[in-house]
Structure 1
C-alpha cells in the first residue's frame, strides 16, 4: 500500500504543479457550477461538492448514448466497476465495485432493495436501460447507512418520471445484429395535485451460443433471450409539504443456455413496489416513511429435463427523520428487512427459510466554510447472526473553489446468503459473516475545462466467503462448498478525468489499478483485473453527436489458485446520433468494432482444462429511432 500511496502523492503533486501556475489564476475569474445533488451518499439530498465518499452520477444523456446495449455495458464504463457475463445478452451480469464480489453490493431501484435473498446478487441483465433516468454509484463501504452487503458499495437506479406538470410522451424502436429488436413507450402527466406515469420495454434477440466451441451437438445453437419490463409511479401532494408516492417495477427475462439437452432455459422474474409518505413537519424537520416489497423468482429447465424454482420475498420498512441545522443535516432512521425464501427442485422442497433484520441509524452531514464532514453510525440486529455495529466518518477540505481533498473511513459487514448457508450439497451452515474496514482518500480538481479526481483505497475483509473445491471443504461435501477463506486485502487507486479539448470536442476517461488478494496465499480473487479503464472521445455539433469508447482490462484468473488465466482485452465501440428535429432522434451504435475475440468467464478448470469458454459478441450494430414529445 505504501507504494500505491507514494505513486498517488507523486501524481497528485504533478497535477497540482501543472495547474497551480495557470489554473488558480483563472479561478478568480470564473469557476463553472458543476454541482449536482445526490441522495445515495448520505441517504439525504446532498451536494456533490460536500460528499466525502467516492460517488459517480450517470445521467440520462449517457444512458441514451448506449441505447440498444445493457446496463452492464453502461456500468463497465465507470471507474472501479468490473463486469462479466456467462454468455451473450440475457445471461447473468456480474457487477463488482473496487475488486469486491457481486454479492457485496446493495442495489436499489427507486429506494427499493432488489438483491436476491438466495444469491445476494441482482439480475442486472433484466433491467433495461430504456426504463432508467439516472444512476448513482457509491463506491466503498456503506453498511453504516444501508446495512448488510454494502462492503463494495451501493448502486441506486432511478427510473424515468416526469419533471413537470406537462404531459410527456416518448417511445423508441430499434433493431440490430443477431436478430435483435427492441421497443419502449411511456408517458408522464398530471391532474391537479396528482402526477403519474408508466412505461414498458421489450427486447428480443436470437443471440449467440452461450459457449465458445461447444462440444455437444445440442449446444451448437444460438441461445436466445427475451425480456418484457415495465414501471409505473404516482405522486399525490395532498397538502403543501406532504405527499404520498407509489412506485412499481416488474421485469421478466428468459434466456436459453448451453447444456447436453436442447431447449434448456432460465426464466427470471423480479418485482418491486413501494409506498412512500413524505411530511415536512416543520421548516427544518422532514419525515419519510417507506414500505416496500421486493420479489424475485428464478425458474430453470436443465439437464435431463429437471427443473428448479426459487422464490424470494423481501419486506422493507424505513422511517427516516432529517433535521436541518445551521451547518448541516442530522438524520435518524429505523430500518427493518424481512427475507423469506422457498426453493423447489423437480417438485421436491429443498429450502424454506426466513430471517429478519432491525437497525437504527444516526447520521450527520455538515459544511463549515471550507470544511465538510460526514458521520454515520448503525446498529443492526440480525435474527440469525446477532448484532453488528458499523460506522463511517469522512472529512473534506476545499483548498479553493476548484480543489478539494477528502478522506473517509468505514466499516461494513455481510451476512451469508441462504444459498451459501443451506443450498443442497453446497451450503455450509457454519459460515461466519464477512466483516470489513476500509480507508480511502481522494484529491479532486474541478475547473473551467478540466475535472479530475484521484482516489486511493485499502479495504480489509475478514471471513471472506468464496466457493471452494471439495479438497478445501469440511468432511461430507462431495462437489465443493462455500467456505470462509480468511482475510482479503484490496488495495487500489482510481483516476478519472474529463477535458474540453476544443470547440465541440470532449475527452473523458478513467483508470483503475488494484490488487485484490487473499492474505494466506497472495493469490488474486477470481476474475479480477489488476488494471482496467476506459477512454471516451465525443464530438457535438448542432444536430450531430458522435462518440467512441476504448475499454481495456488486463489478465485475470478464473480459479482461486490462479492457474486458469483469462487474457487481457481491448474493445472499441462507437455511437453516431442525429437529432432530426425537436422530437425525433436517429441513432446507430457499433460494439466491438475490431471484432476482438475475448473471454470474460470460462468453464475450464484444473480437472477439465479443455472445457469451453463462455462466448462474447463479435462486431455488432444496433440502430434506433426515438420520439420524445417534450
Structure 2
C-alpha cells in the first residue's frame, strides 16, 4: 500500500514537472558570489557558466556578478580541472568551492549513467575523494569505505585477512552472502567476480583511484543484475602529465606495503604504469579461549599492476586501453585451509562527443581468472586437521557496454545496452583419510544482456528521472561430471534456464528556498544467483555451505525519500533519508546440521526479507582547517516470509546490525594533516536462526601526515587504538577482526598534487 501511494505521488509530481508552463513572469535579477579553492583561497579567472553557456569570469578576488532572467539552469564555475556547481541558484550571494571535476561529476554519472547535470539527483549519493581515501587509517580499500555508515563486508572483517568468498557487500541493511547485493563498477565495467559475485578489493593500485561514489538504493534500472542495495563506482585516475609517485610503508603483524605510479605524455598520447605489493604475517583469527595446535595466523600477500595507454581525440573525445593483473594468496587460519586468485582484466574504451548536445561511451572488456581453495575438518580440541576437499575454478568473461545522451537545456534522453558472457568450470576433488575419493566437476555458462532508456529533466527548481531497463539472464550449458571411488563416472546435464526482467525507476527532486532539497524515488531491482551459489560447495572456518542449482533470482521493490540542507556558505550540510526495500526470494543460508566442531548450511530462496530504516549524515566545516563528518544508519532488516520454516519469520537477516555509526574529524594546517575516525556497530547474528550472536563493537582509528619536503610526506596510521575485540563470525567457532595495528610510511611525489 505504501509503495503504491508513493508511486502515485511521485508520478503526479513528475507529470507536473513536464506540464509546468514553459515561461514564468520572473523579472531579471543579479546573482553574485565568490569562487574559492579547497583551502578557501580566492580563484581568479574561473569561468562562470549558466546552463553550459559562459557568462563571466571571476576577478582577482574570485568574485563574479551575472544577471539571470527567467531560466533556472544550473550555474557552474570551472577553472582548469576544477569544478563547482549549483543545480538551481535561488539565492543572490553564492559561495562556490572548487573540487576536481571528475569527483563532482562522478555522483551524477553513477546516479544517471550520464554526465548530464539536470538539477538535483534523486538519489542518496556520497563521493569519497582520493584525499579522504588516502587520509583514512586503513590498509585496504574496503576498510577505507567503512567511513560510509551502512557499508560492511559480509563478515565484518577486512580483505587483507578475509576469505574472498566472504567479501560481498551489504548496503541499506540488505546483507549479503558470498555474493554481493551491491554492484561495483569502474568506468562502466563490473568488478563483481564473474563466478562468485564477491569483490577483489585489492585489484587496483591505490594511486590509480581518483574517487569512489556510493549510490545507495536499487540501481538495476541502469546497470542490471546485482544492484539491489546500490552501486559503488570506482573512478579511475587518468594518465596525466609527467609524474611519479611512490608509497613505502610497514606495519605491525610483520606487514609491508609498497606501491607506485608513473605517467608520461607526448602531445595527444599518454601512458600510465602502476603497481602494488602487499604482504602480511597476519594474526590468528580464532578467539584465544578456543585456539588449538592447528590455529595459525591468517596471513596473505598480493601483487597488482595496471597499465593504461590513452589518446585524446577531437571534440573532447578520448580512447584508451587498460590492462590489470592481480595475484593473491591467503592462508585462512590453519595449515591446510588456503586460497589463491590470479586475475587478468583488460578494458578498451572510447568517450565521444558529436556537437554540443550528444555524447556517449563505449566499453569492451574481458577477464581470465583462476581461483583455488582447500578445505579441511578439525577435531573438537582443534589439535588435528584433515583435508576434505580441493577446488579449482577457471572463469572467462567477455562484455560490451555502451550508452549515449542527447541533452537540451532542460531535458536529456539517455539510452544504452550491455552484454556480459561468463563461462566457468569448477574442478573439485573430495578427500577422505588424506586420499582423493573421486571428482566432482561442473562447467556452466551465464549470459546477461539488456538495454535501458532514461528521461532526465529539470524545470523551475524541480528535477526528475524516469528510467526503464529490460534484461535477459540465462544459465546455459551446465554439465556435471561425478565419479566416486570405483563407481562409473556419471554425466548430468541441467536444462537451460532463461529469465526476463523489467526494472523501472522513478525519482523526483525539488530545490526549496533556504538551500533545502527534497528527493523521493521508487524502484524495482534484481539479482541473478551466481554460478558459485548454484554449483559450488564452499567453506569458511568450520562452516560448510552447500550449493543449490534450483535457486531463483532475487527481486526487490523499494522506496526512498529524504531531505538535504546546506548552510549559506557551505559550512554545514545535513542529510536524512528514509528507505524501505523488500526482496522476494532472497538467497540465504539455512541450517541443515551441526556438531560441536562444524556446521552445514544450504543455500535457499528464503521467501521474503525486508529492510527499512533511516540514514542520517552531517558535514561541518567550522574553518581553520577543521572538518567533521558524521553518518548513522538504522536498519530494521528481518525475514518476513518463508513457508518451509515459519520459525524464521521475524528474525534478523544474518550479519546485519540495527545500528551503525561513523565519524571522522579531519584537520589540515600547512604541511600537516590529522584524521580521527570512529565506528560503532550494533549487535548482529551470524545465522538465519539467530542462534549465534555477534556483539556490538566500537573502534577508534587515527591517521597523521606531515609534508617534510615539497616531494616527501611521512605518515602514521593506527587501527583499533583501543584494541577492542570485533566478533566477525561464529562458525560455530568465534573468529575475530583486526586487532590494534600500527603503520608508518613515506610518500614520494613528483608532479602530482
| TM-score w.r.t. length of structure 1 | 0.89
1:396 paired to 2:517: no
Partner of 1:382: 473
Partner residue in 1 for 2:264: 189
Gaps of 5+ in 2: 3-89, 377-385, 430-437, 475-496, 538-544, 642-648
Q: Does 1:199 align with 2:274?
A: yes
Q: Which residue of 2 aligns with 1:455?
A: 577
Equivalent residue in structure 1 for 2:362, among 258, 264, 289: 289
Residues 27-84 of structure 1: CA deviation (Å, up to 9, x unaligned) = 6543444782121111111459621111110101011113651122111110321233
Aligned residue among 308, 321, 329 for 2:412 = 329
- Name the counterpart of 1:504: 625
2-side partners of 1:28 and 1:97: how far apart? 38
Task: Find the counterpart in structure 1 of residue 17 from structure 2.
Answer: none
Aligned to 1:415: 528
2: CA distance between counterparts of 1:269 and 1:296?
A: 6
Q: Larger radius of gyration, structure 1 or 2?
A: 2
Note closer, same or farther for the CA distance 1:426–1:597 as it changes in structure 2 (3 Å cut).
closer
Between the aligned partners of 1:206 and 1:227, the Cα distance in structure 2 is 12
1:90, distance to aligned residue in structure 2 (A): 3.2
Distance 1:242 1:500, change over 3 A: closer
**1:219–1:328 distance in 2 versus 1, CA, 3 Å:** farther
The Cα shift of 1:216 comes to 6.3
Offset, 1:257: 1.3
Render the CA deviation track for 1:473-528: whole Å, top value 9, x for unaligned.
xxxxx943221111111101010111123422222110101101101311110111
* Equivalent of 1:588 in 716, 720, 729: 716
Q: Is the 8 A contact 1:161 1:188 kept in 2?
A: no
CA change 1:107–1:151 in 2 (3 A) is: same
Pick from 594, 602, 617 the counterpart of residue 481 of structure 1: 602
Does residue 157 of the first structure (1) align with residue 234 of the second (2)? yes
1:507-558 deviation digits (Å, cap 9, x = unpaired): 2110101101101311110111100111111222111111211110111111
Quick one: distance in 2 between partners of 1:471 and 1:264? 22
Deviations 1:275-320 (A, max 9, x none): 1123323332223221111333321233345421112222111132
1:139 paired residue number: 216
Q: Is the 8 A contact 1:70 1:128 kept in 2?
A: no
What SS class does the counterpart of residue 597 from structure 1 fall into? coil
1:88 to 1:395, Cα distance in 2 relative to 1, 3 A: closer
Match for residue 251 of structure 1?
326
Q: Is residue 2:231 matched to residue 1:111?
A: no
Alpha-carbon offset, residue 330 of structure 1: 1.0
Where do 1:225-304 residues align within 5 Å?
225-259=300-334, 262-303=335-376, 304=386
Task: Summarize deviations over 1:127-181 as a string: whole Å, max 9, x none.
Answer: 554442211111100101000111111111123333x4x2011111001111111
**Segment drifting more, 439-448 vs 417-426:** 417-426
Aligned position for 2:394: 311
Q: Which residue of 1 aligns with 2:34?
A: none
Report what 2:670 is aligned to.
542
Residue of structure 2 aligned with 1:211, choices 270, 273, 286: 286
Shift, 1:240, TM fit: 3.6
Contact 1:174 1:183 in 2 (8 A): yes
Query: Following TM superposition, by how much is the alpha carbon of 1:349 offset from its aligned partner in structure 2, in angstroms?
Result: 5.1
Q: Deviations over 1:559-608 (max 9, x none)?
A: 1121211110111111111011221111101111111122122222xxxx
CA–CA distance in structure 1, aligned partners of residues 148 and 115 of structure 2: 22
**SS of structure 1 residue aligned to 2:533:** helix
Q: Distance in 2 between matches of 1:206 and 1:378?
A: 47
- The whole-number CA distance in structure 1 between the counterparts of 2:208 and 2:287 is 32
TM-score relative to the length of structure 2: 0.75
CA contact (8 A) 1:54 1:140 kept: yes
CA separation in 1, counterparts of 2:593 and 2:391? 27
Match of 1:629 in 2: 750
- Give the conservation status (yes or no) of the 8 Å contact 2:315–2:354: no
Distance 2:498 2:657 in 1: 33
The Cα of 1:440 is off from its aligned counterpart by: 0.4
Closer/same/farther in 2, CA of residues 369 and 250 from structure 1, 3 Å limit:
farther
Q: What is the DSSP-based 3-state SS (H/G/I as helix, E as strand, rest coil) of the residue aligned with 1:480?
A: strand
In 1, Cα distance between equivalents of 2:195 and 2:318 = 35
Which residue of structure 1 lines up, in the alignment, with residue 561 of structure 2? 441
Write out per-residue CA displacement over residues 444-489 of structure 1, whole angstroms, 9 at most, x where no aligned residue: 01222101111110001111111112279xxxxx943221111111
Output the CA distance in 2 between the equivalents of 1:568 and 1:206. 27
Q: Distance in 2 between matches of 1:539 and 1:87?
A: 26
Decide whether the 8 Å contact of 1:88 with 1:207 is kept in 2.
no
| Structure 2 match to 1:123 | 200
SS at match of 2:654: coil
